């Protein structure tokens, strides 16, 4: 094997983005995965995007990532969510052809010239530096900081590189649950990664246990489609990638049905057999995507729950019943499915299950996604406690970029909370941590008016250009759109009636866009995406001005960096609680320190005074 710069462990959505990002920046990359055919596999819902998640995908795309282009090429239904609720929460979502998405992802990885290594990464190769880091609890001298040197596979092969990115998904100590039955595995039909957990513990990492699940898959030929409600996609479909002119493939319908009292009775009568309630599962599950047995317990007053029947592709009859994720025994799954309208005769082709897996509580990685105990080792995806393809891909992208940048002696990149949902995601993980699967929502972003799906390119593509991770075609497309945005804004500001400019009139919700076009017909020849962005800018200008004030304060705090060697555990005048929390998180900036739960204004003043004295 040729000399390598980066090793990426895992071929899921985080691993794909990490490997491609490092490759785009000129690194020699090896992708280690159980099997080449598993790269890009959608083990849960074959869909991309959703509330806030769609914004993340557009941000990934704006920085040159793959996910937006992959779903545009393989999507079978595209919808813009929350169109009646305002631009800040409008989010694109698309159902994917599962097999086509996987094939496209594999082709993209293979065409990038990566070395794909089939095997299990069982151990990490590290070299001790002799530098001691503070113990996270006491602040006293603790473990020796190590430097990554590569990975050792379960068959004894060693692969060496100065940067390693772990994107192990649900495979790290994975255990599948089908009722009382337990099977070792990272997902159905695939083995778990068992060696890395012990290795990470040996290096001083704390590990936790999380849980997620999936519903049974149904044979679409056994569903009575006359008894369910059809849900069509948008016409015309809106693409994710800023490079996709239009989605040309035909769309397919999804359908909606509901659980009922009989469904809930079947589940309630068998709760003692559920591994969730028998004590068999110890991992914490996702709060916002609970299993159907969890739903009927937590929402006992609800008589029914939606079930979205989503096709898994054009060339398969399999249907994904989104909304009835379960780990109940197989016979109970058969019974509960057949109580649902339209599914009375449905045949289950693959049973649902829960999967427990190990994760690394993410305050053990810094804002660049490099681990604190091991230099050159990065973590991305569900190993950091997240759930969802999109959150994983975003972390993979940033871990890959930072691994490559630091290898080249360049400054790593950390996105701010006012700059991207990706910035919110990583800041939440590394500053506050999580003890349950983390899912992104628009409500978690305090600057969501500026973090819209339509302007992700304006926010991030110039950064991508500076980093060197976007190509000339994307740069040219962005420049053309930016020029049309500037032209549209100038026309709106320069056209006046009733004593106000068109730009000012747009703040009124009573004024429709067709009325604006009638008064400013020159807008008609400009790029449609540019016009959408400028329209939203104008409508929300007043609100965004208020956000700008807070964003400027955040930027000022983020510009004040805390020295890497600062002994946070022994700073005089800091409260004991503040010293402990700062030592555990070890923030990179004063802004990050301000967001650590329990750190107050007085603590920040002490830090700021100390930094000024050292300047």
pTM of the full structure: 0.92
Distance from chain centroid for Cα 25: 22
Mean pLDDT calculated for residue range 378-398: 97
SS3 content of the chain, % helix, strand, coil (to 5): 40, 20, 40
Backbone angles phi, psi at 265, to 5 degrees: -65, -40
**207 in Cβ contact with 379 (< 8 Å):** no
20, containing H or E segment: helix 13-24
Q: Are 327 and 281 in contact (CB under 8 A)?
A: yes
CA pseudo-torsion sign 119, 122, 127, 133: positive
Q: What is the pLDDT of residues 246-280, one digit of tens each?
A: 999 999 999 999 999 999 999 999 998 988 887 88
Concatenate the DSSP letters of all residues of 114-127 into one string.
PEEEES-EEEEEEE
The tens digit of pLDDT for each residue in 9-44 reads 999 999 999 999 999 999 999 999 999 999 999 988
pLDDT band at 141 (very low <50, low <70, confident <90, very high): very low
The pLDDT tens digits for 289-312 are 789 998 988 888 899 999 999 999
Q: Which two tokens stand for residue 72?
A: 């545009």
* CA of residue 215 relative to chain centroid, distance: 21
Categorize the per-residue pLDDT at 564 as very low, low, confident or very high, splitting at 50, 70 and 90.
confident
Give the model's pLDDT for residue 130: 42
Considering only the top CATH level, what class is 217-354? mainly beta
Closest CA to 316 of 95, 137, 69: 95
Least confident of 47-51, 155-159, 382-386, 546-550: 546-550
Confidence at residue 191, expressed as pLDDT on a 0 to 100 scale:
85
**Fold match between domain 217-354 and domain 560-614:** no
Residue extents of the structural domains in the chain? 217-354, 489-547, 560-614
Name residue, tokens 């246990």.
Answer: 209
**Contact partners, residue 54, CB within 8 Å, separation at least 6:** 81, 91, 92, 93, 240, 390, 453
571 vs 61 pLDDT, higher one: 61
Domain 560-614 has CATH 1.10.150.570: yes
How confident is the model at residue 608, as a pLDDT?
86
Give the pLDDT confidence of 96-140 residue by residue, as tens digits.
999 999 999 999 999 999 999 999 999 999 997 544 444 443 333
| Average pLDDT of the residues in 338-351 | 97
Q: How many CB atoms lie within 10 A of CB 375?
A: 18
What's the mean pLDDT when you consider all of the chain? 92
* 384 vs 555 pLDDT, higher one: 384
């Amino acid at each position: 094997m040729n000399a390598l710069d980066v090793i990426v462990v895992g071929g899921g959505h985080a691993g794909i983005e990490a490997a491609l990002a490092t490759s785009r920046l000129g690194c020699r990359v090896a992708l280690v995965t159980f099997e080449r055919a598993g790269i890009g596999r959608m083990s849960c819902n074959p869909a991309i995007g959703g509330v806030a998640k769609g914004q993340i995908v557009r941000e990934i795309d704006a920085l040159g990532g793959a996910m937006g282009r992959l779903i545009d090429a393989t999507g079978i239904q595209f919808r813009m969510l929350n169109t009646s609720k305002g631009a800040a929460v409008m989010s694109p979502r698309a159902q994917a052809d599962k097999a086509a998405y996987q094939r496209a992802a594999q082709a993209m990885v293979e065409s990038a010239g990566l070395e794909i290594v089939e095997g299990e990464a069982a151990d990490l190769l590290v070299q001790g530096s002799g530098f001691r880091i503070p113990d996270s609890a006491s602040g006293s001298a603790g473990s020796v900081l190590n430097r990554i040197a590569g990975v050792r596979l379960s068959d004894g092969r060693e692969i060496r590189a100065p940067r390693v990115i772990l994107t192990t998904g649900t495979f790290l100590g994975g255990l599948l649950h089908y009722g009382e039955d337990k099977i070792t595995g990272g997902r159905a039909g695939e083995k778990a990664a068992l060696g890395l957990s012990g290795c990470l513990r040996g290096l001083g990492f704390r590990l936790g246990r999380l849980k997620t699940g999936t519903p049974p898959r149904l044979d679409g030929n056994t569903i009575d489609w006359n008894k369910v409600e059809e849900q069509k996609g948008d016409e015309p479909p809106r693409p994710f990638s800023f490079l996709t002119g239009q989605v040309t493939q035909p769309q397919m319908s999804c359908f909606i049905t509901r659980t009922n009292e009989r469904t809930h009775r079947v589940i309630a009568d068998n709760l003692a057999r559920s591994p969730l309630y028998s004590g068999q599962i110890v991992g914490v599950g996702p709060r916002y995507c609970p299993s159907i047995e969890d739903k009927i317990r937590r929402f006992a007053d609800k008589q029914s729950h939606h079930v979205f029947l989503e096709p898994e592709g054009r060339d398969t009859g399999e249907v994904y019943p989104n909304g009835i994720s379960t780990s109940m025994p197989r016979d109970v799954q058969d019974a509960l499915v057949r109580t649902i309208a339209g599914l009375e005769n449905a045949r289950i082709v693959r049973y649902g299950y829960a999967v427990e897996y190990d994760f690394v509580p993410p305050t053990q990685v810094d804002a660049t996604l490099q681990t604190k105990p091991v230099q050159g080792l990065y973590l991305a995806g569900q190993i950091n406690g997240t759930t969802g393809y999109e959150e994983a891909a975003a972390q993979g992208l940033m871990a890959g970029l930072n691994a490559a940048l630091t290898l080249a002696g360049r400054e790593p990149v950390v996105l701010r909370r006012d700059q991207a949902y990706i910035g919110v995601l990583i800041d939440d993980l590394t500053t506050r941590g999580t003890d349950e699967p983390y899912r992104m929502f628009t409500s978690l972003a305090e600057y969501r008016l500026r973090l819209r799906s339509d302007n992700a390119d304006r926010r991030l593509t110039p950064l991508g250009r500076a980093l060197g991770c976007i190509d000339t075609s994307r740069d040219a497309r962005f420049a053309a759109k930016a020029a049309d945005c500037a032209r549209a804004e100038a026309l709106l500001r320069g056209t006046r009636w009733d004593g106000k400019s068109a730009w000012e009139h747009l703040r009124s919700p009573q004024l429709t866009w067709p009325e604006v076009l009638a008064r400013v017909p020159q807008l008609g020849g400009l790029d449609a995406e540019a016009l959408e962005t400028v329209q939203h800018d104008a409508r929300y200008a007043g609100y965004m001005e208020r956000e700008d004030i807070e964003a400027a304060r955040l930027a000022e705090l983020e510009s004040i960096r805390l020295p890497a060697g600062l002994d946070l555990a022994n700073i005089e005048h800091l409260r004991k609680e503040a010293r402990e929390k700062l030592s555990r998180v070890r923030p990179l900036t004063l802004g990050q320190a301000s967001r650590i739960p329990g750190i107050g204004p007085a603590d920040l003043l002490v830090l700021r005074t100390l930094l000024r004295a050292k300047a």
